[in-house]
Amino acid sequence: MAESFTVHISSNLISHLLDDGERVKTRTRKPKPNIPSNPKQDGIDDSKKLQGGGWPLLQPPPPLYLPGIPPKQENNPDVDRIHSVLKESEKVLEKLEKKEESMLEDVTRRAKDLHDKEFKAPNPKPVPCLVEKNACLNCYEENLKEPLKCAQLVNDFAECARRARRSV
């Protein structure tokens, strides 16, 4: 619904549709202007004619629709009915766009809720005997040349690991 368009119904179109082709076009002949056969007889120099006179300029047709300027309103009941139908359809379109926006927000929110519920990361289980393990590693780092000083900490770590295995 991002693209919009404008429909302009002119009074000529409505009158044409109402007449149903009953009107018959009649041709009227335009009188030809009197052009002297010898242009120098009128006493005007050719260079002056081209500068000021020449062919008459044609006026462009009036625009059918200018943005920001409402078209002329005529007191035609058919035109009034068409305008009222257009206004009603614009109101309905606005309501539908608002409804679409609210539904889109609702669907987006629900999708996010479902995604959050389904794809939660499981809670990590605590590592058993982490304290004993860190105590052993620290002891070995402090006593690089005498690792036997850490024997008691190693035994404590091994006992904790046995208990953890049995509980599972």
Q: What is the pLDDT of residue 50?
A: 47
From first to last of its 168 residues, the chain has per-residue pLDDT tens of 567 767 777 777 777 777 755 555 555 666 666 665 555 555 555 544 444 555 666 777 665 666 666 666 557 788 888 889 999 999 999 999 999 999 999 999 999 988 888 766 677 788 899 999 999 999 999 999 999 999 999 999 999 999 999 987
Q: What is the pLDDT of residue 80?
A: 85
Q: What is the pLDDT of residue 25?
A: 54
Q: How many CB atoms lie within 10 A of CB 150?
A: 19
**CA distance linking residue 53 with residue 37, whole number of Å:** 17
Q: What is the pLDDT of residue 16?
A: 72
Domain ranges of the chain: 74-121, 130-167
The two tokens of residue 9 are: 């119904």
Letter string b/e over residues 112-139, b meaning 16 or more CB atoms within 10 A of that residue's CB:
eeeeeeeeeeeeeeeeebeebeebbeeb
Q: Under a CB-based contact definition with an 8 Å cutoff, are residues 15 and 69 in contact?
A: no
Measured CA distances, 79 to 24, 62, 83, 103 (Å): 23, 20, 6, 36
